[in-house]
Every structure is written in structure tokens, then in C-alpha cells.
Amino acid sequence: MLLVGTPLAHQLHIIMRKLIYRFSPGKGEGRAEWKELLGGKGANLAEMANLGIPVPPGFTITTEACVDYLRQLAIPEGLFAGVRESIGWLESKTHKGFGSTENPLLVSVRSGARSSMPGMMDTVLNLGLNDRTVAALAAHSQSERFALDAYRRLLSMFADVVLGVERSIFDAPLDEARRTVARKRDLSIPSNDDALARLIPDTLLGAAELRAVVESYKDIIRAHAHQEFPADPYEQLEATIAAVFRSWNNPRAKLYRTMNGIPDDWGTAVNVQAMVFGNLGDTSATGVAFTRDPSSGERRFFGEWLPNAQGEDVVAGIRTPRPLARHPGDEGLSLEESMPENYAQLFAIQGKLEQRFRDMQDLEFTIEAGKLYLLQTRNGKRSARASVRIAVDMVAEGLLNEDEAILRVDPDRLQELLFPTIDPASSAVPLARGIGASPGAVTGRVVFSAEDAQVEAGKHEAVILVRAETSPEDLHGMKAAKGILTARGGATSHAAVVARGMGRPCVSGCSALQVDQVARSMTIYDADGAIIETIAQGATITIDGSTGNVYRGTVATVPADLGNEMGTLLKWTDRVRRLRVRANADTPAQAEKALAFGAEGIGLCRTEHMFFDAERIRAVREMILARDVVSRKRALDQLLPFQRTDFTAIFRVMQDHPVTIRLLDPPLHEFLPKEPEQIAELATALGMSVDDVERRIRELYEFNPMLGHRGVRLGVTFPDISEMQVRAILEAACSVQKEGMHVHPEIMIPLAFSAAELRVMRKIVDRIAHETFERLGCVVKFEFGTMIELPRAALLADQLAVEAEFFSFGTNDLTQTTLGLSRDDAGSFLPAYVEQHLLAEDPFVTLDTEGVGELLRIAVEKGRVARSEISLGVCGEHGGDPRSIEFFERLGLNYVSCSPFRVPVARVAAAQAALRRTKRYWR
Ligand code: ADP
Ligand code: MG
Ligand code: MG
């Protein structure tokens, strides 16, 4: 069959290519490692066969065959001939005949992609039945009802998967059969279908009812698919194989792939396997099992089973499944008690599978008339907590080494362990959903202003502050509240950023919510704009800052618990990682938290965050509104002791560790009041006229504050503000050093774009240092450096490095300025960009390595040329993002800095990045 015009090598590949791999206990042609070719299910079935585990025999059609089919929309040459041969082999293995009217062979046709896509694609069971073979099956099994039950399942699955008939159409005849049985038994018939199905489960349907169901199903197929159900088993099989190939492109599967980053061109394998029956009576059963508890990670064999049932019945939830092994609190007779021999065999197999796969397994099994079969095994999905416990336990058991254990956990999910979470056992339904902006679940009474938050919290009430959006004015209320909920703003809004810094759970951008400040209530709307509920001040709600869910009333939570295993794992990561991990912390309390989570310094201390305190904001405003140098100096003199006290406390907490303090960064108008009452209040307090205050506010107004009078520009125009801050830092450093502790202050200049600016600032810093050290009779070693958050600064990094002893990449601003994208305004179009693949992901969450990353690369290279010992770090949100950390590791940065709660995440991510970079491990 040489093809004219096709290269010989390609032809050889087509001819030689093996499209079918067989498996039966003792021998599988495939292996677990061949998931690309055989899909996860097929590869593991082959592996189980190789291990001598009893699997029903069968064969796997490769993913390559699927890819071919989808490309040409035609069955690959020779495939069906191979399928017929393999069915012949299966007949000899099972001593049954496909289409036989004596002892018919039935098969399942199961999809199975490379990485598991649970329930996303299609499976058809009981293939090979028709009006004649069903009679043979009835005779052979001595149960007509069993045979008919298998047949009606085939008819509906085939119609759905192959012929595209809506599955729900098949409910009516089944419900009718249930009603017939209910009438026979003199039971009153519930109007609700679910209740009916619970009253009369499938097992109570007799042969007579099922015969009627089968006939109705054939009618449905005739009416909706305009064809007869194909009686020929081979016709059934070939059509199903093609349909399973096509199911790779069904909308469900496509969406799942988009959400989980699975490429569209992998294709699915198809497994054709002899059927075994768990519904042949009381010595038959079916179930699912985990080799360890998927929620806690505890090493106990765990699962559910049903006697006299087929696979899907266990998950369908109509009959209550029973526990595998006896365990306190579980209901129903366990498999261990009911079928001790099968249980013992299953228990031995699960141990064998864990040893082979070196991971927790999720199993499907069926017992047919006292004989156990395994139908599937795969690495089980698990909670974050379980992933840590299992990885650490497996090292102790000798199954994994420490490096492998580190690579087993998903660092992004570790954060779940650091906060209380909604009790997984809770069935509460959320009222609305916003953005999970700061993790943790809390319950409290609703308040609608910062003042009310403070008052109610003062009465020892747990309160949740609800605002349309927050501003610096709300800070004291946010501090007093246990949680924050806003209607507007994204994951990087004021509410989100401040809440994360404070460690307060926060749901932001909950757009279903409308806040009525005056009435002190909020209204929740559904998607069509209808009111779901109005909640008044004082009512109790629960918010989950991890998922973004908002609930009415109290929802049970489970407390944060790092657990011993997490501590052990984190200790291992410290051995392998090269990147240091610092925290962004503005207060002594945050610094303590950061140290507790393992931070090795402070990478960003935002001095202005200390300005908002009620007693300080007045002095800050006085400083801003000052008309002349003298009155500004008076205000600055008031601020100095506050700042010094804060820095002293932070240095004491962080002793021996570096502390990077950024000089004032935001534009001054951010500190001024916006509401008329507050303006009036301020005017009175400062002895100014309201007009004067308003005029000054107008003068400070900016069209684009992000690119306005801020950062180093403030230092250039108001050097006395910088002088005060440097003096406060160094006086604090001297006093702590005098107490006998080590201090490592690093003074950081924000938003510089030139070496010239740094020279101006350096001069101020040096002068104040000289003067302060002289006055206090003390010298403290400190460093002077800059943030890199403008493209120009990155491009001219060699010049800046002449002045700066360290660079800290402010990747939030650098992303904004590189992409010309305002973080606070991007919410309206960024999702469309991600959806249309114009951006791989939100660049404010995961670094745009191509663009922003290129600037970093240039800055690192040039910075090191000018100053080989320069210290390089990152202090944007990306410092706590695992995929960005992988990039920072490859760039060879010295450290990342992130919010205290992300420090453990960053430690694990940095260790994984180091392990992957040394090429010993791949993703
Ligand atoms: P999914 O990937 O959705 O779990 P499966 O291919 O595993 O789909 O099959 C669906 C159900 O049918 C499972 O409960 C499985 O155990 C059962 N099943 C599949 N093949 C067979 C078979 N040959 N004999 C008995 N039950 C089977
Ligand atoms: Mg399955
Ligand atoms: Mg910045």
C-alpha cells in the first residue's frame, strides 16, 4: 500500500504504527509511563495488568488514532480491522462471543485522556446487547431483570453519546416505571422526581417494567435520532469509538481544558474492555476507594461501596453508599464485614498500587459474583492539607525522597492552610460571589462605615465592614473589622491590598451587591437584576476571602492549622532553595507574623502606611497643607517621633535581618479628606478656612496620579519630608544598635528614572546620616538603593547602579508602566484579553516574563556590570507568585519579598524552582 508522493519514512510510520495495545491480567502491552499514547486510564490499566492485578481484559486505542480521526474526520486506515482482531482475542480470553446468542460478550467503551479529566468525556457500557443477545444474557445470568437493566442503560448511553439525543428525555419512561411499581405496592406517589427515585430505586424495577422501558427507549431513538438502534454489535462498537474520539471536542471537555491549561491537540485514547457486573446479586458490589484520606491525608484505606450495583450508582447519590472499612462515625455495614475475603484482596492491591505509583491512588472496583476486579487507578485529587501530609509521610515511609516530596505540593494552594476556611462539610449556598481578594473565612455583623466598625468592634462584636469601595479614610474601620466586603474594585484594589497587608479576609468587587450608605443596608441582586435579599446593618454574614463567596448567617469554619508536616516540609525547602524570601511588612505586628512564617527580612516597609493612624493623619495633613517651610517643619517635627517609634519597634523584631524602608511614595492628595464634613473638621483643627483647604486640595488634584507627583519626585520637591524620614530611620537604628542588637536598614527610593535623581537623594541621605551619627555618637551601617519600576530605570540600570547599592523591582508599577495599563482600571477589559489569548494571564498576578521580564533581564545584566555585588530583589505582588518565582530563580535574583501570608508559598515555590533549574526534575 505504498502511497505515491508521500515520503517513505512517513509511510513506514503509518504502516508500522501500532494503534491498539491489549491488556489482560499478567500481561499488558503498555506501561504506566505511556500516558501520552494510551491516556491515563489505558496506561494504568496496562500497568495493573502487568502487576498481575485482576482487571477485566481489554484493549486501548491510542491517542494518535484519535488525533488522526479528528484531523481527517475519518477512521484511520486499518483501525477497525485491528479492533475486530482484538475483539476475537477478547472472546478467547473471556470464553464469550461478541453478539453470541448463548454467552454474549459485552464491552465498555471508555474515554481516557493523557491527564485525567474526570467525567468530562463519554463512556458507554454494556455494548453488544440487542434483542437477541439480551435474551441470552438473561438465560445465562438467570436474571431477566438484570439483562434488561443492562440493555436500557446501553440504549440511553448510546443514544446520548453516539446519536446526540438529550439524556433527560430518557427520564420519563423510567419515572413511569417507578410509578407503576409504586402503584403495585400501594405507595403514595411523590410529585417530585428525585423523591420518586429515592422511594423506588432502580433495584426495585422488575423485568416487566424494564421491558416497557426498553421499548420506550427504542421509540425515543426512532423519534429523535430518526434511525433504529443498531442491532449489530460491531456497528455499535465502531460508532461508539468514533463518538468517543469526537467527545474530545465536546463543549464540556473544551471548557475543562481551557480552565486547566490542557492543550487541545492531545486527543483521547479509547479503552474497550470486557464488562463485569456488580449488580448480579448479593455477592456482587461496586465501589470507589482512596489509598489515603483525600481530605486529611491520613494513611487509612478509605472509600464507599454499594452491594448489587453498577459503577455510576455509587456517585449518583440515590442509594447511600457504605464505608469500605469500619471507621467511627460511618454508617452501614462495611465491605470489610460483608465480604471479608474480597476486602482483604482489595486491601493488598491498594498497597501494591501505592508502592508502584508512589502516590495516593483513587480506585474503581467491582465484585462480580464474589470475584474482585479493578477497573481504574489514578493519582487521587486531594486537599492542600492532605497533599502536604501525604508527601511528608511518604518520605518517612521511604517511598519518596525529600526533593520529590517538595515537588509534590502545589505552592499556590498552601495558602489555604494559613487561614480558617469554610468547613468542607458545610452545605451552605453562597448568596453572592465576588473576588477572593484576601484569604480566610470570617463571620460577623454587617456595618457600613468605618466609624460604625470601630464602635461595634469596641463592644467586642465581630464586624464585617461593607463598602462600595474603600479609601484611606476607612483604614481604622478596616483594622477594627474582622473582614471586608466591597462591591467594586478588583484583586488589587485599595480594599484588597490593605486587607492582605493586615491579614484581614476580604471579598472585593462583589458586583451583585449594592450598598446604601444612608439606609445602612445592602441589596443583593441576581444576574437578571431581581432582588435576592436586602441585608440591614447588624445582620450576620460570612465571607470567604479565598473563594470570594458571601453567605447569609453563620457558616461553620475550620481553624488554620499549619501542622507538623508543613513545618517539616518547609524545613526541607530551606535546604534546597537559593532565593531568599523576605516579607512586605509595614508594622511590628506584621514583621512578627512574617518572621513566624519564615521570612528572612523585610523587602518592603511602606512608611506611609503608618501615616493613616488617627493621631498621625492630622500632622500629615498639616504638613501637606503647610503654606511655608516653617509651618511644614512644625508638622514634620510632630511626625518624626511617630516614625522613629515605629522603626525602632520593627528593627527590634527583625534584628539581624535586613529591613528595606521605602521613603514616601504616594501622591500627597491621597492623604487629604474628600467628604465636606471632614474638610470642615480639618479646617477647624488647623485654624484654616474651608476655602483655603479646598483650594489646596484642588491644587494637588492630578489627572493621572499614578504618573504624577509621587515617589522620588516628592523628595526632590519637598526634601524636608525625606530628611525627616531618613532621620527617623537612622535615629531608630542607632538606638536599637545601642541596645546591643544588629540592625540592617536599607533606605529605598521609589519611582526613580535616572541616576541624577538618585544623586540628589543620596546627598540628602548622606548629609542626614553624617549629622545624626555625629549627634548620637554612633555609626550604623546602612545601604542606599532604589526601586526599579519604570522602563527607563531598567534600561539605564548601569547608571543607576553607580548610585544604588541595591535594586528592588517594583513589579506592580513596572507592569503598569511597561504595558501602559492601569491596574485599577484594567478590570473592564483584562478578562477579555485573557479569554482571547491576547495575554496568557493577568500580568498583575503572574509576571509578563516576555515583556516586563525582558526589562528585568536587562536591568539585572546592566546592574551587575556596574556593581558586581549589587543585591537584587522583587517586592511586587509577583514576589509571592510561584510561576513568577520560577522566572526570578532563572534570572538569578537574590530574593523575593511578598506579603507575610505568602512567605510559606514563596519558600516552597523557590525550592521547586531551584530543583527544576538544576535539571534533576522536570515539571
Ligand atoms: P469516568 O472517567 O467518567 O470515571 P469510566 O470510563 O471510568 O468513566 O466509566 C464510568 C463507570 O463505568 C465507572 O464507574 C466504571 O467503573 C464503570 N465501568 C467502566 N468500564 C467497566 C467495565 N468494563 N465493567 C464494569 N464497569 C465498568
Ligand atoms: Mg472512572
Ligand atoms: Mg510602586
Residue 48 Cβ < 6 Å to ligand 1: no
CA distance 455 to 452: 5
DSSP E strand boundaries for 671-805: 744-749, 783-788
For ligand 3, an ion, list residues with CB under 5 A. Answer: 789, 810, 813
Residue 119 Cβ < 6 Å to ligand 1: yes
Residue 123 Cβ < 6 Å to ligand 1: yes
Q: Please list the alpha-helical segments (H only) found in 51-78.
A: 63-72
Counting from 1 in the atom list of ligand 1, the atom nearest the Cα of 117 is 2
CA distance 416 to 439: 7
For ligand 2, an ion, list residues with CB under 5 A. Answer: 376
Instruction: Tally the C-alpha atoms within 13 A of residue 535's C-alpha that lie toward its C-beta.
Output: 27
Q: What is the CB neighbour count within 10 angstroms for residue 26?
A: 11
Ligand 1, atom 23, lies closest to the CA of: 275
- Give the closest residue to 711 by CA, choosing from 796, 637, 817, 625: 817
Residue 587 Cβ < 6 Å to ligand 1: no
Counting from 1 in the atom list of ligand 1, the atom nearest the Cα of 271 is 6
Q: What is the CB neighbour count within 10 angstroms for residue 554?
A: 12
CA distance 582 to 602: 5
* Amino acid 464: pLDDT: 97
Residue 125 Cβ < 6 Å to ligand 1: yes
Cα dist. 843→439, 498, 826, 840, 854 in Å? Answer: 20, 20, 10, 8, 14
- Asked if 48 and 60 count as a contact pair (C-beta separation under 8 A), the reply is no
Tell me which amino acid residue 843 is: P
Active site positions, annotated:
494, 875
Dihedral sign of CA atoms 544, 547, 548, 554 in order: negative
CA distance 262 to 517: 45
Backbone φ, ψ for residue 749 (5° rounding):
-100, 125
CA distance 459 to 561: 28
What ligand has the least distance to the C-alpha of 39?
1
Ligand 1, atom 18, lies closest to the CA of: 311
Ligand 1, atom 24, lies closest to the CA of: 275
* pLDDT 10s digits, 368-409: 999 999 999 999 888 788 899 999 999 999 999 999 999 999
For residue 344, the CA-to-ligand 1 centroid distance in Å is 23
- Considering only CA atoms, give the Rg of the chain: 34
Residue 312 Cβ < 6 Å to ligand 1: yes
CA distance 528 to 250: 28
Residue 86 Cβ < 6 Å to ligand 1: no
SS3 content of the chain, % helix, strand, coil (to 5): 50, 15, 35
Ranges under pLDDT 50 in the chain = 1-3, 922-923
Q: Assign 451 to helix, strand or coil.
A: helix
For residue 810, the CA-to-ligand 3 centroid distance in Å is 6
CA distance 590 to 593: 5
Cell of 888: 526570578
Cell of 350: 491498594
Cell of 878: 509577583
Top mutation candidate among 55, 59, 105, 125 for ligand 1, by most atoms within 8 Å of CB: 125
Contacts of residue 536, Cβ cutoff 8 Å, sequence gap at least 6: 446, 520, 521
* Amino acid 10: pLDDT: 53
- Grid look-up 522603626 returns 647
Which DSSP string do the residues of 617-647 spell out, in sequence order? Answer: HHHHHHHHH-SSHHHHHHHHHHHHHHHHHHH
CA distance 905 to 308: 46
CA distance 791 to 410: 33
Ligand 1, atom 3, lies closest to the CA of: 119
What ligand has the least distance to the C-alpha of 286?
1
Query: What does DSSP assign to residue 351?
Result: H
The arrangement of strands across the sheet holding 531-536 comes to 513-516, 521-525, 531-536
Q: Beta strand pairing status for 432-433 and 549-552?
A: antiparallel
Q: What is the CB neighbour count within 10 angstroms for residue 470?
A: 25
Report how far Cα 745 is from the mean position of its chain's Cα atoms: 36
Ligand 1, atom 14, lies closest to the CA of: 311
Cell of 617: 493623619
CA distance 760 to 715: 9
| Cβ neighbourhood burial of 250 (10 Å; 0-12, 13-18, 19+) | middle
Contacts of residue 512, Cβ cutoff 8 Å, sequence gap at least 6: 432, 433, 434, 524, 525, 526, 527, 532
For residue 905, the CA-to-ligand 2 centroid distance in Å is 32
Top mutation candidate among 121, 288, 364 for ligand 1, by most atoms within 8 Å of CB: 364
* Amino acid 876: pLDDT: 85
Residue 108 Cβ < 6 Å to ligand 1: yes
CA distance 404 to 562: 20
- Asked if 270 and 346 count as a contact pair (C-beta separation under 8 A), the reply is no
* Amino acid 649: pLDDT: 97
* Amino acid 118: pLDDT: 67
* Amino acid 562: pLDDT: 67
The three-point CA angle 92-93-99 to 5° equals: 55
For residue 801, the CA-to-ligand 2 centroid distance in Å is 58
Cα dist. 68→1, 76, 242, 268, 587 in Å? Answer: 18, 6, 11, 11, 61
* Ramachandran category for residue 696: left, alpha or beta (phi over 0 → left; psi -120 to 50 → alpha): alpha
CA distance 99 to 336: 37
Cell of 520: 445602612
What ligand has the least distance to the C-alpha of 122?
1
Biggest distance spanned by C-alpha atoms of the chain = 107
Cα dist. 403→92, 574, 576, 836 in Å? Answer: 47, 11, 8, 37
* Total residue length of the chain: 923
For residues 634-646, b (16+ Cβ closer than 10 Å) or e, as one string?
ebbebbbebbbeb
CA distance 466 to 526: 19
- Grid look-up 526541607 returns 572
Q: Provide the β-strand partners of residue 446.
A: 464
Cα dist. 522→386, 447, 486, 487, 514 in Å? Answer: 38, 10, 11, 10, 5
Which DSSP string do the residues of 191-217 spell out, in sequence order? Answer: SSHHHHHHHS-GGG--HHHHHHHHHHH
Residue 377 Cβ < 6 Å to ligand 1: no
* pLDDT 10s digits, 281-294: 889 999 999 999 88
Q: What is the CB neighbour count within 10 angstroms for residue 46?
A: 27
- Give the closest residue to 42 by CA, choosing from 22, 27, 25, 26: 22
Report how far Cα 568 is from the mean position of its chain's Cα atoms: 23
* Amino acid 207: pLDDT: 95
Query: What does DSSP assign to residue 878?
Result: G
Counting from 1 in the atom list of ligand 1, the atom nearest the Cα of 375 is 16
